[in-house]
Structure 1
């Protein structure tokens, strides 16, 4: 299924309104799922935007998309994760171990 169709189905089902959320990135995974990243058009600022990440199951035979997980976050949340999670990960020549 085309990534544009995935976004359209999520909008038509009322899962994610394109009036409120702007699509930033869509990634289809080999296991039949998709990651969709949105940015809120109305809430947040240029310095600290509000994002929505949707993890969805793509059902090709039914031409359907089912939301498995959704997380709303701000840029400051990512900075917090980077500060507390990634210092504990050792990096050797660009690869996390």
Structure 2
């Protein structure tokens, strides 16, 4: 299944509306999952966009994509996470 097919299935199933979200990147993983990154077309600005990350399972036999996890975030959230992830497990 190609990237356009994955994005199309998620739109058809009502998981992600392409009227609201623009697909930016699709990364297929070796374990049969896929990461899809979207940008919101209505919320946020060019300097401060809102993103949606979807982690999904590709079911080749059924020609289906099943969402396992979804997270909406802004760029500042990534900076915040990286600051703490880079500390490699230091506690609060």
After the TM superposition, which residues 66-77 of structure 1 pair with which residues of structure 2 at under 5 Å, given as runs?
A: 66-77=66-77
| Alignment TM-score, normalising by the size of structure 2 | 0.92
Equivalent residue, structure 2, for 1:64: 64
* Long gaps (5+) in structure 1: 90-97
Distance 1:7 1:73 in 2: 19
Cα displacement string for residues 17-55 of structure 1 (whole angstroms, at most 9, x for unaligned residues): 000000000001111100000000000111110000000
Pairs aligned (count)? 88
* Aligned Cα root-mean-square deviation (Å): 0.8
Equivalent residue, structure 2, for 1:54: 54
Equivalent residue, structure 1, for 2:33: 33
SS of 2:38's equivalent?
Answer: strand
* Long gaps (5+) in structure 2: none
Which one has the largest radius of gyration?
Answer: 1
Distance 1:32 1:85 in 2: 26
Distance 2:56 2:64 in 1: 10
SS of 2:14's equivalent?
Answer: coil
